[in-house]
Chain A
């Protein structure tokens, strides 16, 4: 369990040249006078499932967008599986997947066409793309809709297609912004199983969620962001201990760290 700022772990990793799935050092971003992210440090290992929690406007999405190369940090460094993402963004994007909270799907394409297109963007060969698309469609139970255009799909269906698109190039780092929002329990289970399989295969996953149960059950470590800073980080047990609430839920811990007045009331 640690607060914001460089840690002994980070320093040790630097000394031993250990390759991290994702390593952020003092990454910050401001929009005009508003400081969205105020120098975040993260060090995630390959095969780690990490949940980033925080209230709206805390800086979670901005942090992930900077890692995905969709925002340029004002300062700091981003390393993805040993690749300096700021110096070599194209190479970093090859191993990265980013699923935003409101994923963009082409309404006029079918899931198969969409997956074929995304595979082309990541230069996945035709045969491999076809095989992975078939696997993902089967795992996510998209088979009956594989040839229907996405324009009539529910939010959950769209989320599944977008997730399949994010995974089609077999990324090493997977960042998911609210992937389970608005989808039913059955679909959520499929998504969780798929993500856990990826973690077992060595991928690093960073997930933001409003559903604390998901973070509690899936994530090995949890980071809590407030006001653009990483205010706490650790396993669920470590967070409970740090909050002095050994028998409380993650929700209580979360509120005590981000809204102490609400938790104390």
Chain B
């Protein structure tokens, strides 16, 4: 597929990453043929759809339609916060790994491609990976919902994509900002710590809501729910945008998508050179540290440890 697009283009780089990820993914099936691996994946997807089927009536009662119950809307908001925080956590982990594990960055940054293009392709790969980690569980619900209650459930697809782009932009911004503010070593630790906390909030958020006393939950619901007369105000309107988008409101879906794409593009455009600088910075000292432990000197056919080389030199003299 990479041969169908212009070599060296952004899409070409993204397709290259996708090809590698696809082959790595197939490798997880222990040498099974692609056909067998795809068969197993289809079987797994069907199993997840079967699990989603009995859940749908409950979810549909609360979440579906243009005017769901306040509790339903609050639950939808909580779900989106959890999804976004999970994606941001995944983004932080992967952006950190990209910076420090380097992988193919020497090859890419040593080529005539612009750092922006390289960062853009890496960021798309991060966004797709973050999306994949949520999509596996969320999309069966959307598919079953679409089958049983209407096509508006398919709004999950574009909206999760928008959230993945926005979360990746945020993760890149945080990772690179930490690098420049705290330095390479501390930045790595803090980024991973932040990622763990954000990822944990996916589970913690759900538990906290479930454990709230009934009265408090009702008060919160009333406070956070949109005004029934539709007068949310500007802040309320913005805050509830993702929820409305998930309810398949076309204008809100489009608005969310535009915001996400603009955020993502701005992050790539403004951070491209800084990303390259951070990569080069991250490459400096760790390499020197790594080699300090294996100090060797030269001999004609092979390297010798320092002490042995000194003994050889002494004996020769």
Contact = CB atoms under 8 A, between A and B. Distances in A.
Contacts of B16: 117
B317 A36 contact: no
Interface string A64-80: 01001111100000000
A98 B108 CA distance: 11
Contact of A31 (B285, B297, B313): B285
Interface in B247-287: 277, 280, 283-285, 287
Contacts of A122: 8, 111-112
A71 B299 CA distance: 29
B313 A249 contact: no
**Max chain A C-beta neighbours (<10 A), residue from B16, B284, B299, B301:** B284
B59 interface: no
Given A56-B294, A120-B8, A263 B313 contact: yes
A74 to B, nearest CB: 11
Contacts of B294: 56
Given A249-B300, A254-B298, A118 B107 contact: yes
Nearest to A32: B285
Interface string B8-45: 10001000100110011001000000000000000000
A71 B302 CA distance: 29
Contacts of B316: 252
A120 B6 CA distance: 9
Contact of B300 (A36, A69, A90, A251): A251
Contacts of A100: 106
A209 B313 CA distance: 19
A76 to B, nearest CB: 16
B298 A262 contact: no
Contacts of A263: 313, 317
B106 A104 contact: yes
A69 B285 contact: no
A212 B299 CA distance: 7
Nearest to B295: A56
Nearest to B314: A265
Interface string A172-195: 000000000100000000000000
Given A108-B27, A121-B8, A210 B313 contact: no
Contacts of B229: none
Contacts of B228: none
A123 B108 CA distance: 13
Contacts of A213: 300-301
Nearest to A162: B107
B8 A210 contact: no
A234 interface: no
A101 to B, nearest CB: 10
A212 B296 CA distance: 13
B280 A126 contact: no
A93 interface: yes
Contacts of A13: none
B151 interface: no
B7 A265 contact: no
Contact of B110 (A69, A106, A210, A252): A69
B114 interface: yes
Given A55-B295, A104-B106, A265-B310, A211 B301 contact: yes
Given A123-B8, A265-B314, A70 B301 contact: no
B299 A121 contact: no
Nearest to B277: A72
B104 interface: yes
Nearest to B118: A121
Contacts of A212: 298-300
A264 interface: yes
Contact of A55 (B102, B297, B313): B297
Interface in A31-49: 31-32, 34, 36
Interface in A212-228: 212-213
Contact of A211 (B12, B300, B309, B313): B300
Contacts of B109: 69-70
B288 A31 contact: yes
Interface of A: 31-32, 34, 36, 53, 55-57, 61-62, 65, 68-72, 90-91, 93-94, 96, 98, 100, 104, 106, 108-109, 117-123, 126, 165, 181, 209-213, 249, 251-252, 254-255, 259, 262-265
Given A259-B310, A262-B314, A263-B313, 17 more contacts: A57-B295, A61-B287, A69-B110, A70-B110, A70-B280, A90-B114, A93-B112, A104-B104, A106-B20, A120-B2, A121-B107, A123-B8, A126-B3, A210-B298, A212-B298, A252-B316, A265-B313
Interface of B: 2-3, 7-8, 12, 16, 19-20, 23-24, 27, 102-104, 106-114, 277, 280, 283-285, 287-288, 291-292, 294-303, 309-310, 313-314, 316-317
